[in-house]
Amino acid sequence: MQENRTVSLPPLAIGGHVLANPVLLAPMAGITDAPVRRMAVRHGAGLVVSEMVASEALLSGHAEMTLRAERAGAPLHAVQLAGNDPHWMAEAARMAEAEGADIIDINMGCPAKRVTTGAAGAALLRDMPLAGRILDAVRAAVRLPVTVKTRLGWEAGAPTAPALAQLAEKAGLSLVTVHGRTRCQFYKGTADWAAIRAVTEAVRLPVIANGDLTDARDAPAMLAASGAQGVMIGRGAQGRPWFPGHVARFLTTGRVPAPPSLEAQRDMLLELYEGWLSLYGVVLGVRQARKHVGWALEAAADCAGPAALTPGWVAAWRERLLTCEEPDRVRTGIRAAFDDLNWRAAA
């Protein structure tokens, strides 16, 4: 447990919803599915947001999009929608509201080529009039609070996030989240937390800072540089569903919580594994789980410390577990991997 200063932040409200804390789990396609979001909430995340849901595909009953929008047993159900047509975005928002969503988030930041090629996600940063029409249409379609997630801009030297935030404020949205990179950076380089301040100074809406928060002790610096009212954690939570909650506790207490014991991490992973099998079915569930198992092994090894490992420990267990198609063997392997790690840490 490490001493540090606390950060005094006012309660974060999204519409009429007051969050338990201002630390959010980012929506990540193919990653933050219902089992992951459920686990993050249990360990203290202030809000979790669904994977990106393609608006027209959701309306057509596409099975994958339906699963992405599934409620995770969290106090608040936030559904992120993506698309480039104001009409279909509005219709998808109405559908999500009818299915029990509490918050609608609009994706205007995804950098993936398959998304931007379709003029959605971060591509909307190059078409402010269309972005504005989408914000207006979704806001008018539902009674729920509406938020938007974006990036600094499409490319360096063209910071459009402040203008987008002003459109969001004018449309009546409740919150803006900004990832501190441009679309052209994808996930390279370092997130520019200070550049987010241009957004916080442009609007009176709450702004959430996102990008590269992987150590709880960096959260005060992220908030100070950006001027944001909260933080959102994406890749920093991969393999560590407890991490957003630990950041929230650090901001409140000034102390970094110890990571869960290796036994607790093993049990979390096994519970998540059952969740993926139940959500996706056995064949797809085994495959969906692989990346998470790999991240969990890396997180556990990091917690155990380098003295507990021989070179290649993570790689060896990844190869053994991630190529296995039989759930029982994977379960047994997870237990064996954590037993091995525990033995090494104790030795």
Sort 148 into a burial class: Cβ within 10 Å, 0-12 / 13-18 / 19+.
Answer: buried
DSSP strand pairing (207-210 vs 146-151): unpaired
Residue with tokens 């449309």: 171
β-partners of residue 39 are none
HSE (side-chain half, CA atoms, 13 Å) at 165: 26
* Catalytic annotation, residues: 110
Closest CA to 168 of 198, 136, 199, 129: 136
Q: Quick check: 53 and 27 in contact, CB under 8 A?
A: no
Written as one string, the DSSP assignment of 10-35 is PPPEETTEEPSSSEEEPP-TTTS-HH
Q: Quick check: 231 and 247 in contact, CB under 8 A?
A: yes
DSSP strand pairing (17-18 vs 13-14): antiparallel
SS (H, E, C) 288-303: HHHHHHHHHHHHHHHH
d(CA 26, CA 289): 19
d(CA 216, CA 85): 38
